[in-house]
Amino acid sequence: MNNDFSSLRMFCHHVVRKYGGFQGLSEEQIAREFRAIYFNNLPLNLKRLKTVAAICAIELKGLARMPGSMRGYHDVYDDRTTIYFKNGDSSSGIQNTILHEMREIIETLAADTNPGYTPLRTAARHIAANKFASAVLLPEETFRGKVYQTGLDVVTLSKIYSKSCSQVLLRMGEVLQGRLFFCAALYEPEPDSETAWKVSYRTVSYNEEDPYSNFRGVDGFLPRKGSPVLPGSLANMAIQRKKAHMVRRISVLDDMTDGGLTAIARPLIDPDAGTVMVAEVILLSHDGHVLGPQIDRVKPVMVEHFHRHI
């Protein structure tokens, strides 16, 4: 790596020189520059990321306990920057924390290196940092290719990339946006309950060129964050029987004239804990062939038809 990038401030100067500023840049663009400069587009791992932090004069410290529900934070004292992460977190979690905090640092420095730039406020900065971390860890082009190769299989992608199912699911929604109607939900048990499950993460992408892909007007039909698992639902079948289930056709309109949807719900089984989560993917029926590699791999139980019910 060139010594010209031995601090995140220098990285910000590079972005300003190349793009004229941070205004209007997507997290994909910022992440692409970051990977090219600091990783030479090589695969990212925790060791390499720690080396990048050291090159940028950022100290990393693991803490046994974090304030509140935080997974990490950073501070700057006497021009020394420190990123704190949670001891005992997974390698993937620590990588995500470091990149998240680096992006927040970049946002602060952007205001210094980019005259006239208005930095993001707290909530927007947090969202941007999450997207940046995912874009660095799961590069758009190669990750999208794997999404199709696995048949949109959240569980398999999580294992391939050693990332959480939640991060993989949300990233899938980003890289498929504008290409495919796709709704995915992650169901997890509610704390302190052996029977109640709900949607913990959810994402949707749309192909605006496909007139059949807009199901936004079907109020309450698609799973939403916080929605409970209902008896008789596809997710409930996967939870109860500990096996992937797929419904070939879900009719949405009462007159049955719509092309309908198809869905697959795949459980993640822990040998000791049983079913720990279920990943559900919903597509237009005429895009169902995209699920082929996942169907071949997990051989789901086939359910012929649902009506306004998933």
Predicted confidence band of residue 116 (pLDDT cuts 50, 70, 90): confident
Predicted confidence band of residue 308 (pLDDT cuts 50, 70, 90): confident
Predicted confidence band of residue 258 (pLDDT cuts 50, 70, 90): low
Whether the pLDDT of residue 213 is over 90: the answer is no
3-class secondary-structure state, position 20: coil
* Span 52-79, average pLDDT: 90
* Span 200-220, average pLDDT: 72
Domains of the chain, first to last? 3-137 (1.10.10), 140-307 (3.30.450.20)
Q: What's the pLDDT score for residue 82?
A: 95
**C-alpha closest to that of 114 among 25, 243, 241, 195:** 25
d(CA 116, CA 140): 30
Q: What's the pLDDT score for residue 61?
A: 95
Q: What's the pLDDT score for residue 234?
A: 96
Whether the pLDDT of residue 224 is over 60: the answer is yes
Q: What's the pLDDT score for residue 215?
A: 59
Q: What's the pLDDT score for residue 115?
A: 87
Whether the pLDDT of residue 70 is over 70: the answer is yes
If one compares 7 and 254, the residue with the highest pLDDT of the two is: 7
If one compares 70 and 243, the residue with the highest pLDDT of the two is: 243
Least trusted range by pLDDT, from 110-119, 127-136, 217-226, 228-237: 217-226
Please write the tens of the pLDDT for every residue from 88-108. 899 999 999 999 999 999 999
Sign of the Cα pseudo-torsion (94, 98, 103, 108, in order):
positive
Return phi, psi of residue 262, to 5°.
-135, 155
Please write the tens of the pLDDT for every residue from 19-43. 999 999 999 999 999 999 999 878 8
Enter the pTM of the model. Answer: 0.89
Query: What is the pLDDT of the chain when averaged over all its residues?
Result: 90
* Span 211-222, average pLDDT: 61
Return phi, psi of residue 46, to 5°.
-65, -40
Predicted confidence band of residue 257 (pLDDT cuts 50, 70, 90): low
Predicted confidence band of residue 140 (pLDDT cuts 50, 70, 90): very high
Whether the pLDDT of residue 2 is over 70: the answer is no
3-class secondary-structure state, position 275: strand
* Span 131-155, average pLDDT: 96
d(CA 276, CA 44): 28
Give residue for tokens 């919903």.
282
State the number of CA atoms in the 13 A half-sphere of 251 facing the CB.
Answer: 9
CB of 101 within 8 A of CB of 129? Answer: yes
Determine if residue 83 is left, alpha or beta; phi over 0 gives left, psi from -120 to 50 gives alpha, anything else beta: beta
**C-alpha closest to that of 12 among 129, 102, 134, 130:** 102
Return phi, psi of residue 249, to 5°.
-145, 130
Whether the pLDDT of residue 243 is over 90: the answer is yes
* Span 70-78, average pLDDT: 88
